[in-house]
Amino acid sequence: KRQIARFPIAYWNLYERVKEDLPRTNNNIESWHSRIKPDARNNLTLSKVIELFRLEQSNMESYYALLSTGEILSSTRTKQNKKNQKIKLMVEQYTQNKIGMFLDGMGENLKSN
């Protein structure tokens, strides 16, 4: 008999995220954290924290202005784009009766760099 999953499937399943073209990882958040970390040293005063947030707000407003003109801020690597397209196509073509083939193909896509 199977054990009950530690976390509900809805928490970790990426099927809907892939269908909606949402990121599969939180790499963008990790990137932001790495960018802000050098400025956010330990023991910052309140005024320094406020200054840091104002600078970040200014950056985000600049990015928003660029995006609203159709500018592309950063492009995902071509290789990663191809992988994402393959995964999305597999998800769109998924059928229950071919689950073994789906899992094999998904495994190959996820392990290849």
| CA-angle at 85, arms to 26 and 89, nearest 5° | 115
Q: Measured between alpha carbons, how far is 59 from 56 in angstroms, rounded to an integer?
A: 5
Q: Measured between alpha carbons, how far is 103 from 82 in angstroms, rounded to an integer?
A: 18
Of 85, 32, 25, the C-alpha closest to 60 is: 32
Cβ atoms 91, 15 nearer than 8 A: yes
Domain edges within the chain? 27-74, 76-113
Model confidence pLDDT, tens digit, residues 52-75: 889 989 988 998 999 899 887 776
Model confidence pLDDT, tens digit, residues 83-112: 888 888 888 888 777 888 888 888 888 886
